[in-house]
Every structure is written in C-alpha cells, then in structure tokens.
Amino acid sequence: MILSRSFRLINFCGMCAVVVLLGACSAPEVRLQEPEISAQVAAPIEPETIAADFLSTGFYTRGQASRGERRFQQLCADCHRTVEITRGWFGGNSHQTAGDLLLVMSMTMPDGSPGSLSSEEYADILAFLLRLNDYPAGEEELPTDFAALQNIPIPAR
C-alpha cells in the first residue's frame, strides 16, 4: 500500500509538470518593446535673461531693505559710508551674484567679528545695499540660503 501511495504521488507530480510544460510551450510569444525615449533638453537660460527677470520682478522686499538699513547703521556705518557702496563698486561687479556678495560680507565683516551675524541679518543688509543701488524691490524676500543666492545675478546698473 505504501508503494502504491508513493507511486500515485509521483505520477500526480509528473502529470502536473507535463501540464505546466505544455502550457508554457503553447503560450504566445511575448516580446517586450523598448520604450521610446524622447529626450527633450531645455535650452540653457542665459545669465542676461535671468538678470532681466530679477530686474523686472525684484528680489528683495522693502521691509527687508528697511531692516537691513537699521542693521547697517548699527554695525557697518562706522567703517562704511553709503556713498562708497553705490554705483562704482556695485556697477563694476556685474559678474557677481548675490551669493558672492553675501560670502564676502560674511567672511570679512563686521570688522573684528566676521561671520557673527545671522544669515537673515546678512541678507537684510544685502537687501539694503541693493536698494541703495536702485535695484527694484519685489514681493519675496532675498533668500538666506547661499545656494539660492548663487542663482541671483547682480547685473551692472
């Protein structure tokens, strides 16, 4: 009786294998198609276009520039007069970004304690300097993130 049970089990498994193999052989061939990829690369945006956008929409707020003016008077006016930070210095550095300017400010000022201000205070003072140089105010504050500031060109005026 034990042989008979084993024989039936082997016979059953063998029949299942045959059914599976027959099913696999008779199934239609499935071909996978490679997806069509259309690579559309956006044209690079010219720095002049970015600069024109910022000049038309502004990239700091009036409130931010006002806060910056107060901080400038408290922390910077002993060493800097506003007249020396207009036109000549700003206008001759059209290749710079807001990030470049913020980096110089935070690495060298205030005198005796560079880097001691918060990123918001440095951005506020930079907004004031932009206002001094007739760059338009807008609806959004100048960001405090260095990477974001690197994307804001300061075009010659």
pLDDT tens track, the chain, 157 positions: 455 555 454 555 455 444 444 455 554 555 545 545 444 544 444 555 555 566 678 889 999 999 999 999 999 999 888 777 776 666 555 558 899 989 999 999 999 999 999 999 999 999 999 999 889 999 999 999 999 999 988 877 6
Tokens at 157, concatenated: 């005026």
Listed by start position, the domains of the chain span: 59-149
| CA distance linking residue 155 with residue 5, whole number of Å | 91
